[in-house]
Structure 1
Amino acid sequence: MSSQRPEIPEGYLGAQEALKDAGMTPSSHEKDEFVILENEVEIKFKVAAPVKATTNLIQVRTEKDINEYVFVQSDENSISFCVSVPESGWYKFQIFALAKSNESKSLPNVFNYLIHCKQALKSVYPCPKQFAIWKDGCRLYEPMVLNSNVRLRSVPFKVRIPKANAVAVVVDGEWTHLDKKGDGVFEGKMDLDKYRNKDVKLTLNGNFEDDETKFATLLEYKL
């Protein structure tokens, strides 16, 4: 892959004007341009108050947006972006964010990175699809990756969903409720071998209402 640094417009990299308004401060990667020796990195920001955020991950060589390789997690004090890249080369990573208390649906650009991956040694797969309610302070501990190329026997699930009354994993119409462990954490295990290469979707769902039959989709995996 090309090792030549791409031309970047002046003012593109680093903090943008809206970063201060969002109350965000970079904590893991203060430099706006950096090298990763492998093809995974977690970028963290401190937040003054909860924020809503979205991203673009652009592969410079192809100019394609490959945002399916980004997973966003947040809580009251921080927000993190787990980024995986499929091959070596240069990538632009754009972050858009706004204080959650702001009702605007348009998120301004707050920070831009230029990332150079030296070696893509690991196999990477798209992250689970995140639905809006997931971004309200939820956290995924495992599985970060779930598809027909990975181990599907006795798959552990562990999530933190602070406002949920109950959490269930649903695949091909089969519901499995996770055990509530306290502090919003839910855990469980599932055998998913029978779904390998069946092209089915697996969803993580939460109940947030008095009606215990109503569940909202939080995450979606493809097996």
Structure 2
Amino acid sequence: MTLRVLPPSPGQFELMVFAKPSEAKEPYKWVCSYQIDCSEPKHPLGLPENPFHFWGLHPKSKDLGVTICNPCEDVIVAENGALTFTFETSRPLLAMFQLFHLELSEPFSKKCLVSQIQDDQLGCHLLLPFWGYYRLSLFVKDQAGGSFQNAGNMFISCKNPVNHNELFPPNLGVHCGPGTNTKQNGLTNPSHVCPIIRTTTGKCNITFHTLWDMDIFTSLENTRLNNNLHSLDRYCFITYLEHKISLTVHLPESGHYKLSIFTKRKENEDFSHACDYVIQCVSTNRLLPFPKVYNAWGHGCILLQPRYGFLPAESWENFRVKVPGACKVLVIGPIKTELQLTKNKIWEGKVFTGTPGTILKIAVKFTPNSTTMDIVMSFKAQIIYENESSG
């Protein structure tokens, strides 16, 4: 056993040590005492409360399924206010993390932590907003049931806290990044294994392989977004391919975003939460949203051009789309433009956008004898300013 003593003030202290066998039910017995003379305390800020009476991994953490912690020092130093823990596990577990500091409220602490649950390891990413000491507690239980048990209490020292405005988005789920839950909801082989994605361009593309035929729903959030005229849901575009799905995200300004992914089987009615991603955007670009998509835009449809829902007014734009099973594809705007099918099974043509405010719609006929066409997507012509990017 290692016992580290941090006197809170100058003076003399008596340290008394009590012990008992781990399985014994009798009370602790006094073992020995030490006299400590502290002339100058090095750590004026007190330690975080720890009701579990031990630091590091639990002496029987292996029985709980947690085998290794990295980092594993007695005092883990977060030099720049950021820290990542990895706990290796001997079996799939459910996990909860709690972060404690004398100045940290429970609601605020949830913006400091991103957790990830995988079959063979648990991950925890921290951003620390205060100077001093923290306790990160890990609680685990088997997926089959039971109750959560404390498996470890990591002692953290932060010397350079992060800015309070640079913390993670609020209301993150327990399942961040790909892991056990995403696989249970039909998503495998992720392009981004880490739950935190950093982009310097304002763009990112996340792909998964799918285990069965499914529908995807996404939700993009940013609580600090200023002066945005369009719903953030228009900044994520879903493309269904054979046994694969692509989520393309374009962000309107810098900041931290929460991207939530939900899935459901075709035969089910309700969506299930698969995972959350944190997207850290440091780009100065103000990207435009994607086109508005309708129900007829289904699996196998691919938008090649244009990729933005707002097009320069009074201009000619190339339209290129893949629509499986289509017999005819039109772009309805100031004039109707029929797209032509190429040898590569791409419908393409040059379309005039019209005056500002003009709505352009892609319409598709799926059966030769049908007298109606399905609207699959719409765009809007407008004046594009210099600080808005459409390419």
Fold match by TM threshold 0.5: yes
CA distance in 2, matches of 1:214, 1:11: 46
The match for 2:267 among 84, 103, 121 is: 103
After TM superposition, give the deviation of residue 130 of structure 1 in Å. Answer: 0.8
After TM superposition, give the deviation of residue 162 of structure 1 in Å. Answer: 0.9
After TM superposition, give the deviation of residue 105 of structure 1 in Å. Answer: 2.9
CA distance in 2, matches of 1:129, 1:10: 28
- The alignment covers a number of residue pairs equal to 215
Other-structure match for 1:176: 337
After TM superposition, give the deviation of residue 74 of structure 1 in Å. Answer: 1.2
What SS is found at the alignment partner of 1:86? coil
- CA 1:62–1:119 in structure 2 vs 1: closer, same or farther (change >3 Å)? closer
CA distance in 1, matches of 2:184, 2:346: 31
The residue type equivalent to 2:299 in the other structure is D
- Does residue 188 of the first structure (1) align with residue 188 of the second (2)? no
CA contact (8 A) 2:289 2:310 kept: no
Which has the higher mean CA deviation after the structures are superposed, 177-186 or 124-133? 177-186
How large is the RMSD of aligned CA atoms in angstroms? 2.5
Which has the higher mean CA deviation after the structures are superposed, 41-50 or 200-209? 41-50
Other-structure match for 2:14: none
Equivalent residue runs for 1:135-154 within 5 Å: 135-148=298-311, 150=312, 153-154=315-316
TM-score (norm 1): 0.85
After TM superposition, give the deviation of residue 51 of structure 1 in Å. Answer: 2.2
- Does residue 45 of the first structure (1) align with residue 208 of the second (2)? yes
- Does residue 72 of the first structure (1) align with residue 238 of the second (2)? yes
- CA 1:92–1:177 in structure 2 vs 1: closer, same or farther (change >3 Å)? same
TM-score (norm 2): 0.50
1:58-112 CA-to-partner distances (Å, cap 9, x unmatched) read 013259961111111111121111111111110000011123xx32232111121
The residue type equivalent to 1:71 in the other structure is F
CA distance in 2, matches of 1:7, 1:215: 43
The residue type equivalent to 2:235 in the other structure is Y
CA distance in 2, matches of 1:9, 1:43: 18
Other-structure match for 1:117: 281
- CA 1:73–1:6 in structure 2 vs 1: closer, same or farther (change >3 Å)? closer
The match for 2:368 among 210, 219, 223 is: 210
Other-structure match for 2:168: 5
- CA 1:178–1:158 in structure 2 vs 1: closer, same or farther (change >3 Å)? same
Moved over 6 A (4+): none
What SS is found at the alignment partner of 1:205? strand
- Does residue 20 of the first structure (1) align with residue 215 of the second (2)? no
Other-structure match for 2:255: 89
What SS is found at the alignment partner of 1:68? helix
CA distance in 2, matches of 1:10, 1:124: 27
After TM superposition, give the deviation of residue 10 of structure 1 in Å. Answer: 6.4
What SS is found at the alignment partner of 1:113? strand
1:134-183 CA-to-partner distances (Å, cap 9, x unmatched) read 132200000002535x37533111111111111110114x3211001145
CA distance in 1, matches of 2:178, 2:253: 26
The match for 1:162 among 319, 324, 331 is: 324
1:110-143 CA-to-partner distances (Å, cap 9, x unmatched) read 12101111223x2311210111121322000000
The residue type equivalent to 1:112 in the other structure is D
CA contact (8 A) 1:49 1:76 kept: no
Q: Which has the larger radius of gyration?
A: 2
CA distance in 1, matches of 2:262, 2:345: 27
What SS is found at the alignment partner of 2:166? coil
| Structure 1 stretches lacking a partner, 5+ long | none
What SS is found at the alignment partner of 2:183? helix
CA contact (8 A) 1:163 1:184 kept: no
- CA 1:131–1:113 in structure 2 vs 1: closer, same or farther (change >3 Å)? same
How many percent of aligned residue pairs carry the same amino acid?
Answer: 25
CA distance in 2, matches of 1:10, 1:204: 37
CA distance in 2, matches of 1:109, 1:158: 33
CA contact (8 A) 1:93 1:114 kept: yes
| Structure 2 stretches lacking a partner, 5+ long | 1-162, 382-391
